């Protein structure tokens, strides 16, 4: 514990000392943890062992961090193929928590945590919150949904570990959120950026002046956002808006976070080993080059991840941060290598929508996904062409079709969608591959 | 006898109905009766035309989802309780009207009312037995 572990504008917590380890010491810690995590993955998880054996790599071959490139990658499809618990290294009786997020088709992907994992998770969320300037004494409103989504409970446990006053508001009911914010004197909050922008608009409608509230720290994540959205939020409140990054496969929120410098996200490298690789070849890229972010978990016990392809595109920031942290920073995530969409914090793949349409109609109709943002809130509309085969004279049949499609998609995605039935050939077709997604959210 | 009605799926957007009627006029298809049922963002146009077969193929060739349905057309005098009389007959025989719409007759003193009743053959037989003037498909009366 040193005085450095204290942000100029933030709090002070001994757990944050790990953010300031000298680089050589950090590298040593990473290697030792990598070796033991790899050994555990090899010994306890059959798919990892099989894939490493195929490549002729043994856990002992990892002599330095440069040897990482010899290890096989792990993909989201591996989680789907081994649904639900196939990549677990711990027996279920040692797993104290399960979470799930959407996979690429019907089935979700499941992640598990031992008691130690939950502690590590809480500690990285705590360090994220400290970096963003939260400290004991803050009243913290958690607007992330409590449930299978890692956002809600992840933020909750981290905030409790830090020792702030937690308001587990969960998602939705905007008027009540605003009332709580005002009446409880909330000073810090976590939200998806789009939901908070929606909340700001609602506050203006009901005559609540957000600038008069004591809010000072905002933590935003679970979906990509822009500098323009940050300016929008900061100009309408007194809070500083910070970016928090995470994904369930690695641990949930708390993989990386902005500090009060608001200049890139610090990766909690002592628990998550980051690489930037060429998205096409998988070859490692030099520091500073833009490519796909890949993570290996260094301390996760229930579900170690070896070289997990996030499909998020970013680059490392090579200069040291003015905050004094030695853990590396990356630029905020702007785009992805695949077609995953993030709608109200929920991961959505067009293939999931396709599977639902196919299940209802028997054949795949021509369709298009339209994304819009209304008062800060993401809206998704699926336009489906009516084929002469499904059309008949009865209005009821069309109404039925519309509601069946809506239910099937909502069941798969876990969020409500609007279904619009379109005439045959009414939807735009481009040369060759159909343009399935029209994203008007940042238009 | 019953006649063939053409149903067309239409998106509820400006000018779409006119696009369809233009197409039919260009192909010399005469619309003798029309009704439009609408939901929030879509609708179904139901048409009685002079040539249902070519109407259907023209529509399909132009990417309209269209379908033929058998309906009953009844010639009714312009007098108090005329429609009610028909509904009473159908009701007494356990026949349910799914929808109906009317068209002007050629002369001022009669109208033609289109009924969607299931089963259509039974409805025609019941109405004829009760002396109702059911229009025949071969000789479309609505000019």
B3-37 pLDDT per residue, tens: 899 999 998 888 889 999 999 999 999 998 899 98
The CATH topology of domain B3-69 is VC0802-like (3.30.2130)
Contact A396/B at CB under 8 A: no
pLDDT digits (tens, 9 = 90+) for A88-128: 999 999 999 999 986 656 678 999 999 999 999 999 999 99
Beta pairing, strands B31-38 & B66-77: unpaired
Between A and B, how many residue pairs show a Cβ–Cβ distance under 8 A?
A: 50
What integer pLDDT is reported at residue B25 of this predicted model?
Answer: 96
Helix (H) or strand (E) holding B43: strand B42-49
Selected for mutation to probe chain A from B36, B65, B71, B98 (highest A CB count within 10 Å) is: B65
Please state the ipTM of this predicted complex: 0.77
Q: Minimal CA–CA distance to A256: which of A293, A216, A215?
A: A293
What's domain A3-338's superfamily in CATH?
A: ANL, N-terminal domain (3.40.50.12780)
Distance to chain B for A257, nearest Cα, Å: 44
CATH of segment(s) B70-129: 3.30.2130.10
Does CATH number 3.30.300.30 belong to domain A343-439?
yes
Interface of A with B in 401-430 (CB under 8 A): 420-426
- Domain locations along chain A: 3-338, 343-439
Q: Where are the domains of chain B?
A: 3-69, 70-129
CB contact under 8 A, A391 and B67: yes
State whether residue A228 sits within 8 Å of chain B by CB: no
Note the pLDDT of residue B77. Answer: 85
- The 10s digit of each residue's pLDDT in A305-350 is 999 999 999 999 999 999 999 999 999 997 888 888 888 888 888 8
Please compute Rg for chain B using Cα positions: 16
- The C-alpha torsion from B61 through B62 and B67 to B68, rounded to 10°, is -70
pLDDT of the residue at A7: 46
- CB of B60 within 8 Å of a chain A CB? The answer is yes
Q: Does A395 touch chain B (CB under 8 A)?
A: yes
In this predicted structure, the answer to whether residue B74 has a pLDDT above a threshold of 70 is yes
Residue of A nearest to B43 (CA): A395
Cα distances from B100 to residues B9, B73, B115, B123, in angstroms, run 18, 10, 5, 14
pLDDT beneath 70: ranges in chain A: 1-12, 102-106, 429-434, 443
Flag whether residue A399 sits within 8 Å of chain B, measured between CB atoms: yes
Whether this prediction's pTM lies above 0.95 is answered by no
């Amino acid at each position: 514990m040193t005085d450095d572990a204290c942000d100029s504008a933030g709090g002070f917590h001994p757990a944050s000392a790990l953010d300031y380890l000298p680089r050589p010491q950090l590298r040593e810690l990473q290697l030792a943890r990598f070796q033991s995590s790899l050994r555990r993955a090899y010994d306890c998880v059959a798919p990892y062992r099989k894939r490493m054996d195929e490549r002729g790599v043994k856990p002992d071959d990892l002599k330095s961090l440069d040897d990482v490139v010899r290890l096989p990658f792990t993909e989201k499809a591996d989680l789907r193929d081994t649904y639900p618990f196939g990549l677990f290294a711990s027996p279920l009786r040692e797993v104290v928590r399960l979470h799930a997020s959407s996979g690429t088709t019907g089935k979700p992907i499941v992640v598990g945590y031992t008691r130690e994992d939950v502690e590590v998770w809480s500690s990285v969320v705590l360090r994220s919150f400290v970096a963003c300037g939260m400290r004991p004494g803050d009243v913290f409103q958690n607007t992330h949904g409590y449930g299978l989504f890692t956002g809600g409970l992840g933020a909750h446990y981290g905030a409790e570990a830090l020792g702030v006053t937690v308001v587990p508001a969960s998602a939705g009911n905007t008027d009540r959120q605003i009332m709580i914010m005002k009446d409880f004197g909330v000073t810090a909050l976590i939200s998806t950026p789009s939901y908070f922008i929606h909340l700001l608009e609602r506050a203006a409608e009901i005559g609540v002046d957000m600038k008069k509230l004591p809010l000072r720290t905002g933590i935003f994540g679970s979906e990509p956002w822009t500098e323009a959205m940050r300016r929008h939020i900061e100009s309408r409140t007194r809070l500083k808006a910070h970016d928090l990054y995470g994904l369930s496969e690695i641990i949930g929120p708390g993989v990386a976070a902005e500090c009060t410098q608001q200049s890139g996200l610090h990766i909690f490298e002592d628990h998550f080993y980051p690489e930037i690789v060429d998205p096409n070849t998988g070859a490692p890229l030099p520091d500073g080059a833009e490519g796909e972010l890949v993570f290996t978990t260094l301390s996760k016990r229930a579900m170690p991840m070896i070289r997990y392809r996030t499909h998020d595109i970013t680059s490392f920031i090579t200069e040291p941060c003015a905050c004094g942290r030695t853990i590396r920073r990356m630029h905020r995530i702007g785009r992805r290598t695949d077609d995953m969409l993030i709608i109200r914090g929920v991961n959505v793949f067009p293939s999931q929508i396709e599977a639902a349409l196919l299940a209802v109609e028997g054949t795949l109709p021509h369709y298009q996904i339209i994304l819009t943002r209304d008062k800060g809130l993401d809206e998704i509309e699926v336009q489906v062409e009516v084929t002469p085969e499904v059309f008949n004279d009865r209005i009821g049949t069309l109404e039925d079709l519309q509601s069946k499609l809506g239910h099937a998609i909502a069941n798969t995605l876990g969020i409500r969608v609007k279904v619009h039935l379109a005439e045959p050939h009414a939807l735009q077709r481009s040369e060759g591959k159909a343009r399935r997604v029209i994203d008007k959210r940042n238009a | 006898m019953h006649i063939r009605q053409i149903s067309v799926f239409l998106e509820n957007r400006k000018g779409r109905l006119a696009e369809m009627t233009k197409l039919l006029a260009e192909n010399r298809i005469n619309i003798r009766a029309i009704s439009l049922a609408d939901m929030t963002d879509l609708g179904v146009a139901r048409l009685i035309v002079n040539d249902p077969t070519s109407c259907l193929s023209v529509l399909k060739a132009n990417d309209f989802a269209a379908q033929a349905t058998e309906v009953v057309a009844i010639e009714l005098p312009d007098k108090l309780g005329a429609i009610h009389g028909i509904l009473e007959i159908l009701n007494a025989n356990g026949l349910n009207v799914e929808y109906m719409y009317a068209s002007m007759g050629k002369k001022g003193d009669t109208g033609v009312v289109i009924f969607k009743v299931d089963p259509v053959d039974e409805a025609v037989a019941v109405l004829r037995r009760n002396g109702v003037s059911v229009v025949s498909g071969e000789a479309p009366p609505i000019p």
